[in-house]
C-alpha cells in the first residue's frame, strides 16, 4: 500500500499544467499551474514550490496584469519551458511574439522575480552566474551576456547570421559562436568574455553559407582549452584563440 505522502507528490493539483519537478537537492518540488485572478491582477501562469510533505512554500507569479492593475509588457504567453536553474532559482521561458521569448528568473524561497531576459536560445554559464542569449527580433544579428550586448561591437552596421549555438567555456569566462557575414567571405569564430574586447577568428575549410538554408545553425563548437573544436558534419577543425 502506498503512503499518503507519496500520493501528494505524484498527483498534481487541479490547476496543474505539467508534472512536478524536484529541486536539485531533492528536498522540494515545483508545479506549473494555470493562472488565475488575484485581486485586480491576472496571471498567465504560476510556479508553486512545495515541501515534500505537500506544504506550500512559495509562489512565483507570471503576471499578465499585476495586482495593482498594471499591464505587463514582457510577459510570456505561457511557460513553454520551466524548471529549476539551481536550488535557489526557478525559470519560466515562453514566447511574447513569433520571434522573441521572455526568460523570467525567480527566487525559489520567496517567489520574487529576480530578472527577465528577452531574446532566444538562453544558456547559462556552467557556474550559473551569467546568462547568454541571442538578441531580439526576427533576424537577430547580436547576442547578449547578462542582459548587455556582447556582440557585435557598438556602431557595427554589417549584417550577420549565427551558424552555431552559443557555447560557454568550461571556466564560465567566455562564450563562443560561429557567424557568417554578408560582406565578408568565409566564417568567423567569435569569442567574447563580456569584459575585454571581442575577438574574431576566421575559420578555414568549413562549408560556406547556403542561401537556401538561411538562418540554419548547422555547426557545433566544443571547448578543449586552450583550443576550440569546430565541427562541420563529421569533421573537426582546431581553432586556437
Cis peptide leading into residue 10 (ω within 30°): no
Per the structure block, which three cell numbers stand in for 18? 505539467
Q: 9: part of which helix (H) or strand (E)?
A: helix 4-10
Those residues with Cβ within 8 angstroms of residue 228's Cβ, 6 or more apart along the chain or in another chain:
176, 189, 191, 221, 222, 238, 239, 240, 241
Q: Kindly state the cell numbers that stand for 21.
A: 519537478
Hunting for cell 569564430 — which residue is that? 189
Q: Which residue has the cell 554589417?
A: 158
Specify the DSSP class assigned to residue 211. G
pTM of the model: 0.82
For 128-132, the CB contacts below 8 A with 24+ separation are 128/85, 128/86, 129/172, 130/172, 130/194, 131/103, 132/166, 132/168, 132/175
pLDDT reading at 109 higher than 50: yes
Main-chain dihedrals φ then ψ at residue 111, nearest 5 degrees = 85, 0
Phi–psi pair at 122, nearest 5 degrees: -75, 135
Confidence band, pLDDT 50/70/90 cuts, at residue 137 = low
Q: Where are the domains of the chain?
A: 1-124, 153-241
Residue 213, SS3 per DSSP? helix
pLDDT, one tens digit per residue, over 138-191 is 556 788 998 888 888 777 777 778 888 999 999 999 999 988 876 666 788 999
Q: Is 61 exposed, middle or buried (0-12, 13-18, 19+ CB in 10 A)?
A: buried
pLDDT surpasses 60 at 9: no
Summarize the confidence of residues 56-64 as an average pLDDT: 95
Q: Does the structure show a pLDDT above 80 at 106?
A: yes
Nearest to 20 by CA among 78, 75, 63, 84: 84
| Pair 62, 35: CB distance under 8 Å | yes
Amino acid at each position: 500500500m502506498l503512503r499518503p505522502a507519496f500520493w501528494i507528490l505524484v498527483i498534481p493539483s487541479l490547476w496543474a499544467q505539467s508534472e512536478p519537478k524536484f529541486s536539485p537537492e531533492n528536498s522540494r518540488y515545483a508545479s506549473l499551474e494555470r493562472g488565475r485572478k488575484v485581486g485586480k491582477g491576472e496571471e498567465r501562469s504560476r510556479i508553486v514550490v512545495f515541501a515534500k510533505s505537500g506544504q506550500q512554500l512559495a509562489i512565483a507569479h507570471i503576471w499578465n496584469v499585476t495586482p495593482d492593475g498594471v499591464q505587463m509588457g514582457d510577459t510570456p504567453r505561457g511557460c513553454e519551458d520551466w524548471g529549476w536553474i539551481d536550488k535557489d532559482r526557478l525559470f519560466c521561458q515562453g514566447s511574447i511574439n513569433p520571434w522573441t521569448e521572455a526568460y523570467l528568473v525567480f527566487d525559489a524561497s520567496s517567489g520574487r522575480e529576480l530578472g527577465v531576459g528577452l531574446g532566444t536560445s538562453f544558456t547559462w554559464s556552467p557556474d550559473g552566474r551569467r546568462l547568454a542569449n541571442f538578441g531580439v527580433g526576427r533576424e537577430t544579428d547580436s547576442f547578449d551576456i547578462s542582459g548587455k550586448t556582447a556582440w557585435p561591437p557598438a556602431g557595427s552596421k554589417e549584417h550577420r547570421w549565427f551558424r552555431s549555438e552559443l557555447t560557454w567555456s568550461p571556466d564560465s569566462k567566455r562564450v563562443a559562436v560561429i557567424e557568417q557575414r554578408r560582406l565578408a567571405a568565409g566564417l568567423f569564430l567569435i569569442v567574447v568574455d563580456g569584459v575585454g574586447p571581442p575577438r574574431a577568428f576566421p575559420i578555414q575549410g568549413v562549408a560556406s553559407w547556403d542561401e537556401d538554408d538561411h538562418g540554419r545553425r548547422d555547426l557545433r563548437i566544443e571547448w578543449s582549452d586552450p583550443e576550440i573544436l569546430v565541427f562541420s558534419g563529421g569533421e573537426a577543425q582546431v581553432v586556437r584563440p
